[in-house]
């Protein structure tokens, strides 16, 4: 038996899904500690894992994979290939335990459970990591990890559990489905989004998780907004707010859902009222996140994220003075944010605002637009594509100017990239 198989058995990582989730955690730690982004893309196939676990085939991996595995098993002080040494412990080779061994007894009054509490803690930490790294890695990469996590939780739900464990497993399963729904919206896949969000809503309703129901309805509104069904987007967001109007979680459906949808519908007075309600709720809520909170966070919006959404709503209302003043207010947080998406979206809103009013500044608008779509390290998402296209359409009256032609060329180049192509296709079908 290989040492890596022995260590996996000792830790209970004998199933590929569990091993792969642990590997995901290790590669992020390794990439950060070694300052090497290439380690984020290390994978071990299902076939290779079971070869290591089964027949002891060494099948030595690449150095990058070995490095991540050494982090995974906390063996950085040992030789690189120590994980692939042969070990001869009879117990580790799977010697059967006697049915009369006292350690095999459950004990009086105990109830058997198929779920190791550590697996639920692991799932919870993985959800937090997906949220934390989402705006750096994007939906195309993290959706695969979320699907693995969803599969693991579904397997757990098929086994025996205490009632408390089952409710917690269902809650985590619903959260993962909700995150996959959000990722589907960002990826320009509204049908997939509808399916995942329906799954999440069903779970949230069954366990009476109001917070998750609010988040799912807010994401349904988000999806409908990018399908340009602004009336239904407002209705979904309104339903979310009505579940718990005083909750900090109501800030998101108010500003991201209702305010933006009403502004698109041209209902100025009501849109401004909703913006005010979101800002008022923000003002009376303590302990909100600092900086620009993650767009996919299951928690409350930070004040900066709320103002960034208010900028979009005011832009749709044609209130460019408010756009510029709010952008100036959150500029330090946007500039220091690790989210290239946030910088791009605020930049595109500002660019569009420069085309409005009595004295359009076409040159500044196109310069801001070009900077926005070329933000470094930014995985393509639907909202950036839509706003980038809207900026070009609004610049149509100046299509002969060099700045507009250059921006159009940069946008076409961005749209032709392999990751952006599906977004463009879904937007035109």
Region 405-422: mean pLDDT is 81
User: Looking at the predicted structure, is the pLDDT value of residue 60 above 80?
Assistant: no
pLDDT given at position 110: 42
Percent of the chain surpassing pLDDT 90: 54
Residue 180, pLDDT above cutoff 90: yes
- Please identify which residue in the block is written with the tokens 């290790």: 26
Give the per-residue pLDDT at 8.
Answer: 87
Where in the chain are the domains? Answer: 3-89, 351-429
Assess contact for 240 and 211: CB atoms under 8 A.
no
Tens of pLDDT, residues 220-231:
999 999 999 999
- Between 385 and 301, the more confident residue is 301
Of the candidates 383, 342, 387, the one whose C-alpha atom is nearest the C-alpha of residue 223 is: 383
Q: So what's the pLDDT on residue 20?
A: 84
Lowest mean pLDDT among 168-177, 236-245, 381-390: 381-390
Is it the case that residue 29 has pLDDT exceeding 50? yes
pLDDT at residue 307 in the model: 96
Q: Check the CA dihedral 410-414-417-423 and report its sign.
A: negative
How far is the C-alpha of 255 from the C-alpha of 148, rounded, in Å? Answer: 32
93 pLDDT tier (thresholds 50, 70, 90)? very low
Main-chain dihedrals φ then ψ at residue 416, nearest 5 degrees = -85, -5
Between residues 335 and 218, the one the model is more confident about:
218
Q: For residue 53, give the H/E element and its range.
A: helix 46-53
State whether the Cα torsion 356-361-367-371 is positive or negative.
negative
Read off the tokens for 389: 């296209």
> pLDDT for 145-160, tens place per residue?
899 899 889 888 877 7
What is the predicted pLDDT for the residue at 339? 83
SS3 86: strand
Going by pLDDT thresholds of 50, 70 and 90, the confidence category of residue 41 is confident
For residue 59, the model assigns a pLDDT of: 62
Report how far residue 136's alpha carbon sits from residue 155's, in angstroms, rounded to the nearest whole number: 29
Q: What are phi and psi of 86, to 5 degrees?
A: -80, 135
- pLDDT at residue 57, as a whole number: 59
Tens of pLDDT, residue by residue over 131-145, are 999 988 889 889 988
Give Cα separations from 202 to 153, 155, 162, 213, 429 (angstroms): 16, 18, 21, 9, 29
Q: For position 61, what pLDDT does the model report?
A: 82
SS3 sequence of 56-80: CCCCCCCHHHHHHHHHHCCCCCCCH
Lowest mean pLDDT among 67-76, 112-121, 276-285: 112-121
How many C-beta neighbours within 10 Å does residue 38 have?
12
- Give dist(CA 121, CA 324) in Å, integer: 44
pLDDT higher than threshold 60 for residue 111? no
Residue 377 pLDDT > 90: no
What is the pLDDT averaged over residues 336-359? 89
Instruction: Decide: helix, strand or coil at residue 271.
Output: helix
Judged against a pLDDT cut of 80, whether residue 167 lies above it is answered with yes
CA 215 to chain centre: 13
Query: Where residue 88 falls among pLDDT bands split at 50, 70, 90?
Result: low
Q: Residue 237 class from Cβ within 10 Å (0-12 exposed, 13-18 middle, 19+ buried)? A: buried
pLDDT in tens, 273-319: 999 999 999 999 999 999 999 999 999 999 999 999 999 999 999 99
For residue 376, name the pLDDT band (cuts at 50, 70, 90). Answer: low
């Amino acid at each position: 038996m290989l040492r890596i198989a022995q260590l996996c058995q000792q830790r209970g990582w004998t199933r590929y899904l569990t091993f792969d989730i642990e590997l995901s955690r290790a590669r992020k730690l390794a990439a950060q500690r070694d300052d090497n982004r290439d380690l984020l893309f290390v994978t071990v196939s299902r076939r290779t894992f079971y070869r290591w676990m089964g027949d002891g085939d060494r099948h030595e991996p690449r150095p990058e994979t070995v490095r991540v595995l050494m982090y995974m098993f906390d063996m950085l002080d040992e030789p690189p290939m120590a994980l692939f040494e042969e070990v001869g412990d009879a117990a580790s080779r799977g010697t059967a335990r006697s049915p009369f061994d006292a350690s095999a007894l459950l004990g009086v009054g105990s109830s058997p459970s198929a779920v190791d509490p550590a697996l639920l803690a692991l799932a919870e930490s993985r959800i937090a990591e997906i949220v934390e790294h989402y705006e750096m890695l994007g939906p195309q990469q993290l959706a695969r990890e979320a699907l693995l996590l969803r599969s693991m939780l579904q397997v757990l739900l098929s086994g025996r559990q205490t009632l408390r464990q089952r409710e917690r497993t269902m809650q985590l399963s619903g959260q993962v489905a909700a995150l996959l729904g959000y990722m589907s919206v960002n990826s320009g896949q509204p049908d997939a989004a509808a399916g995942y969000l329906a799954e999440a809503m069903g779970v949230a309703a069954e366990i009476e998780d109001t917070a998750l129901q609010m988040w799912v309805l807010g994401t349904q509104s988000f999806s409908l907004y990018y399908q340009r069904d602004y009336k239904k987007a407002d209705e979904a967001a309104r339903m979310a707010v009505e579940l718990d109007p005083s909750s900090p979680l109501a800030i998101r459906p108010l500003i991201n859902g209702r305010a933006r949808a009403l502004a698109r519908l041209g209902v100025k007075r009501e849109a401004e009222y909703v913006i005010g309600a979101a800002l008022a709720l923000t003002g009376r809520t303590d302990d909100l996140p600092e900086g620009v909170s993650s767009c996919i966070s299951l928690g409350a919006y930070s004040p900066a994220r709320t103002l960034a959404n208010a900028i979009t709503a005011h832009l749709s209302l044609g209130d460019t003075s408010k756009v510029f003043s709010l952008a100036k207010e959150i500029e330090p947080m946007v500039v220091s944010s690790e989210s290239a998406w946030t910088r791009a979206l605020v930049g595109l809103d500002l660019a569009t605002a420069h085309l409005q009013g009595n004295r359009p500044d076409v040159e500044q608008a196109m310069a801001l637009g070009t900077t926005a779509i070329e933000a470094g390290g930014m995985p393509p998402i639907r909202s950036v594509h839509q706003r980038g296209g809207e900026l070009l359409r609004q610049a149509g009256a100046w299509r002969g100017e060099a700045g507009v032609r250059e921006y159009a060329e940069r946008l076409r180049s961005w749209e032709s990239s392999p990751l952006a192509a599906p977004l463009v296709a879904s937007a035109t079908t």
